[in-house]
Amino acid sequence: MKKVLSFITVALVATMVSCGPSAEEKAKLEADAKRALDSAAAAATAAIEAAATEAAPVDSAAATTATTAEAPAH
């Protein structure tokens, strides 16, 4: 009886392994993964651009005035 159950178990496992996803299912999974990566990349780009526009612009005239005012006189 033990041999029969072992044979049935091996047959079931072999059947399950051979019934993998079809080419259509693989293509759908790849398309979903690509869409998710594109979405993540777009979100990251938008976050970087938003951070760049929120950063305070450097006022070169004020920076020059502050540097010359602090410099010792010769």
Dump pLDDT digits (tens) for 4-46.
Answer: 989 999 999 888 877 777 888 889 999 999 999 999 999 999 9
CA–CA gap between residue 72 and residue 61 (Å, rounded) = 19
In whole angstroms, give the CA distance from residue 22 to residue 29: 11
Full-prediction pTM beyond 0.75?
no
Cα–Cα distance, 71 to 51 (Å, whole number): 33
DSSP structure class, residue 71? S
Distance CA 32, CA 21 (A): 15
Q: What is the pLDDT of residues 35-55, one digit of tens each?
A: 999 999 999 999 999 888 887
